C-alpha cells in the first residue's frame, strides 16, 4: 500500500524519510518526498539522508529515480580521485599498517637476547606487512566507509562503476590486481593518467573506481 498526494504515490517505507537538499551551495531542510516534489527537485540536485555518509545527486538514489522518473547519469570526470590523492593515501596506509609490526620488531630486539631469534622475529614482522596491508584494504574498502583511513583522510573512496559500495570479492580482486600494477614497474598505476575515469590497472581488472567527496 502506498500513500498518495495529488496523484503522487509514496511507498510507506519512504513516507517518513527526510532529505537534506543543497540549495545555492547550502544544505537546507530536511524535506519529505512530497516537499522535494513541491520544490521541483532536479536530477543533479545534491541530497542526503541521515543514514548517508555523503551527499549524492538525486539521480544516483534509486528511490528518487523511481519516484521522479530520473535517469541515472555517468559520474562526471571531476568526481574521480586524482593520482596525488591516491598516492598520499597509500603512504598514510603504509604507515598505519607498518607501525604495529615495526613496534613488535623493535620490542623483540630490546627484549630478546638471542641474535638469531631477534633476526627471525624482525624479518617475520616485516614480511607480514604486505599481507596485513592487503587484508586491511579489503576489509576497509568493502566496508560502509568504502575507504581505508588514508583514503578517508583524503576524502576519497572505492566504488564500483556505478558509484556504489563494492563487495568483499571485488575488493579482493582489486587488491590482488595491485600485484600486476606493481609488477609492470608501476606502469599499472600510471595508467590512471591515460583514461577518463583515472583507473589504474587494478581498477580496470576489478571494474572499480576511486571517487572523491563532492561536498
165 backbone dihedrals φ, ψ, rounded to 5°: -60, 140
pLDDT at 4: 46
pLDDT at 214: 67
- Are the CB atoms for 72 and 59 separated by under 8 Å? yes
The closest of 15, 158, 175 to 81, measured between CA atoms, is 158
Question: pLDDT (tens digit, 9 = 90+) per residue, 126-175?
Answer: 888 999 999 999 999 999 999 999 999 999 999 998 788 999 999 999 99
- Mean pLDDT within 62-81: 80
Question: At residue 124, does pLDDT exceed 90?
Answer: no
- Are the CB atoms for 134 and 159 separated by under 8 Å? no
pLDDT at 158: 96
Residue linked to cell 598516492: 87
- Copy the grid coordinates of residue 175: 587488491
Question: pLDDT (tens digit, 9 = 90+) per residue, 73-96?
Answer: 776 666 899 999 999 999 999 999
Question: At residue 1, does pLDDT exceed 70?
Answer: no
Helix (H) or strand (E) holding 23: strand 19-23
Could you tell me the pLDDT band of residue 50, with boundaries at 50, 70 and 90?
A: confident
* CA 184 vs CA 31, 91, 198: distances in Å: 51, 20, 18
- Are the CB atoms for 150 and 97 separated by under 8 Å? no
- Mean pLDDT within 1-30: 73
pLDDT at 102: 83
Q: What percent of the chain has pLDDT over 70?
A: 92
Question: At residue 53, does pLDDT exceed 80?
Answer: no
Question: pLDDT (tens digit, 9 = 90+) per residue, 97-115?
Answer: 998 888 877 887 788 778 7
Question: At residue 8, does pLDDT exceed 80?
Answer: no
pLDDT at 6: 46
Question: pLDDT (tens digit, 9 = 90+) per residue, 170-194?
Answer: 999 999 999 999 998 889 999 999 9
Helices 115-141 + 168-183 axis angle, to 10: 120
pLDDT at 5: 46
- Mean pLDDT within 45-57: 85
Amino acid at each position: 500500500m502506498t500513500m498518495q498526494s495529488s496523484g503522487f504515490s509514496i511507498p510507506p517505507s519512504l513516507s517518513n524519510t527526510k532529505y537534506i537538499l543543497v540549495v545555492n551551495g547550502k544544505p537546507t531542510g530536511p524535506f519529505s518526498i512530497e516537499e522535494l516534489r513541491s520544490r521541483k527537485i532536479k536530477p543533479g540536485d545534491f541530497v542526503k539522508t541521515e543514514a548517508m555518509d555523503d551527499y549524492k545527486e538525486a539521480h544516483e538514489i534509486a528511490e528518487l529515480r523511481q519516484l521522479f522518473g530520473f535517469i541515472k547519469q555517468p559520474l562526471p570526470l571531476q568526481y574521480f580521485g586524482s593520482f596525488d590523492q591516491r598516492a598520499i593515501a597509500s603512504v598514510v596506509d603504509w604507515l598505519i599498517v607498518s607501525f604495529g609490526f615495526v613496534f613488535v620488531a623493535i620490542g623483540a630486539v630490546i627484549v630478546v637476547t638471542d641474535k638469531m631469534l631477534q633476526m627471525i622475529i624482525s624479518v617475520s614482522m616485516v614480511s607480514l606487512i604486505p599481507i596485513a596491508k592487503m587484508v586491511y584494504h579489503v576489509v576497509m574498502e568493502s566496508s560502509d566507509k568504502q575507504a581505508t583511513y588514508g583514503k578517508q583522510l583524503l576524502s576519497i573512496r572505492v566504488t564500483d562503476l556505478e558509484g556504489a559500495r563494492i563487495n568483499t570479492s571485488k575488493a579482493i580482486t582489486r587488491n590482488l590486481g595491485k600485484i600486476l600494477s606493481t609488477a609492470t614497474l608501476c606502469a599499472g598505476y600510471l595508467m590512471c593518467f591515460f583514461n577518463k575515469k583515472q583507473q589504474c590497472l587494478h581498477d580496470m581488472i576489478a571494474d572499480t573506481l576511486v571517487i572523491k567527496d563532492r561536498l
